[in-house]
């Protein structure tokens, strides 16, 4: 349904590093980057689906990335914590969303709530 989306970031270099690390377990990689923007997409595809752009201000967002398995949700979370990023919800079922909704949440350097989710 969504072709691509973009967020603005105050901490561009820190956010670029964050997304490069935590999205890899979800099979999402950086496709290109310059001094003020970066594009990410699914490994094996050329298309950019997620962009970050340097800005003087940002509005916090909630971003949910699809995961292929429970294990990839857990790896996303482990990578984020091992890199020093903040937990915003440990991996687990979120039955208040749906009985099969398995997710983890972390905060990026700008305070965006970043989620990995898989439906079991």
Q: Where are the domains of the chain?
A: 5-119
CA 25 vs CA 52, 76, 94, 109: distances in Å = 19, 6, 20, 19
Whether residue 72 contacts residue 28, with contact meaning beta carbons closer than 8 Å, is answered with: no
Report yes or no: 84 and 18 within 8 Å, Cβ to Cβ: no
With tokens 């377990």, the residue in question is 25
For residues 96-109, average pLDDT = 96
What confidence score (pLDDT) does residue 59 get?
A: 85
Q: What angle do CA 19, 84, 95 make, to 5 degrees?
A: 70
pLDDT of residue 1: 67
pTM above 0.85, yes or no: yes
| Digit-coded pLDDT (tens) for 44-91 | 999 999 999 999 988 889 999 999 999 999 999 999 999 999 999 999
Q: Look at residue 58 in the predicted model and tell me its pLDDT.
A: 82
Find the range with the poorest average confidence among 9-18, 34-43, 52-61, 83-92: 52-61
Superfamily of domain 5-119: 2,3-Dihydroxybiphenyl 1,2-Dioxygenase, domain 1 (3.10.180.10)
- The number of CA neighbours under 13 Å toward the Cβ of 42 is 9
């Amino acid at each position: 349904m969504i072709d691509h989306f973009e967020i603005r970031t105050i901490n561009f270099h820190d956010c670029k590093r964050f997304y490069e690390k935590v999205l890899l377990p979800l099979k999402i990689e950086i496709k290109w980057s310059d001094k003020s923007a970066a594009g990410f997409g699914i490994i094996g595809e050329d298309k950019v689906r997620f962009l970050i752009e340097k800005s003087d201000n940002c509005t916090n967002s909630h971003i949910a990335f699809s995961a292929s398995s429970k294990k990839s949700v857990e790896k996303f979370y482990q990578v984020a914590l091992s890199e020093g990023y903040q937990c915003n919800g440990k991996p687990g079922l979120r039955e208040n969303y749906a009985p099969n909704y398995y997710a983890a949440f972390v905060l990026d350097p700008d305070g965006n709530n970043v989620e990995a989710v898989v439906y079991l």
